[in-house]
Amino acid sequence: MTTRLLFVCLGNICRSPSAENIMNYLIAQRQLGERVVCDSAGTASYHVGSPPDRRMTQAAKARGIDLVGRARQFNAADFDRFDYILAMDRQNYRDILALDPAGQHRDRVRMICDYCRTHPDREVPDPYYGGPEGFTYVIELLLDACEGFLDYVLEHPVATAR
């Protein structure tokens, strides 16, 4: 059974595409491509169709990770397409849940930083308006969180196919 993950931030050009591509990097390292698949989206439509931010791409490249993909907006149909929806910050979490007023999918929506092993952060900071060190930090933070979440997924297989 394949577990489907969706990473969500605001614009889908910095944090969530980084998480998606970091997770894909970890999946490839562990040869788990048939067990876990990923995508990413943004809660806002500002950057739909845009590639990942070049500064984020440079920070990821420094760790040997390529950022690929195009921004898209999160929508209610994503609840049925993904087993886990991972928010980068509390505002993203609230915006995702706002599209599920009946609370049917609440159990699938998680905060990615809840799976960090070494970083104390509770949210992934948005590096968009800062300097290069912020982008590097987000890559390090997401590597930690994604490793923890991948282990969680392997230890807790999804019970039903969607």
- pLDDT class of 5 with cuts at 50, 70, 90: very high
88-116: per-residue pLDDT in tens? 999 999 999 999 999 999 999 999 999 99
The string over 102-132, giving b where at least 16 C-beta atoms fall within 10 Å of a residue's C-beta and e elsewhere, is: eeebeebbbbbbebbeebeeebbebbbeeee
Find the catalytic residue in 15, 55, 72, 108. Answer: 15
The predicted structure's pLDDT at residue 158: 81
The predicted structure's pLDDT at residue 161: 43
Return the beta strands (E) in 17-120 as ranges. 36-42, 84-87, 109-111
Is 9 annotated as catalytic? yes
Tell me: pLDDT of 162 over 60: no
Is 4 annotated as catalytic? no
Across residues 25-37, what is the average pLDDT?
96
The predicted structure's pLDDT at residue 160: 53
Scanning 30-127, the segments in alpha helix (DSSP H) are 54-61, 78-81, 90-98
Share of the chain above pLDDT 90, in %: 96
CA 5 to chain centre: 8
Mean per-residue pLDDT of the chain: 96
Is 63 annotated as catalytic? no
Q: Quick count: other Cβ atoms within 10 Å of Cβ 31? A: 8
pTM over 0.85: yes
119-160: per-residue pLDDT in tens? 999 999 999 999 999 999 999 999 999 999 999 999 998 865
**Biggest alpha carbon–alpha carbon distance for the chain:** 43
The string over 58-74, giving b where at least 16 C-beta atoms fall within 10 Å of a residue's C-beta and e elsewhere, is: ebbeeeebebebebbbb
Token readout for 110 is 């998680």
User: CA end-to-end span of the chain, whole Å?
Assistant: 10
Across residues 4-21, what is the average pLDDT?
98
Find the catalytic residue in 9, 14, 38, 113. Answer: 9
Find the catalytic residue in 108, 126, 144, 146. Answer: 126
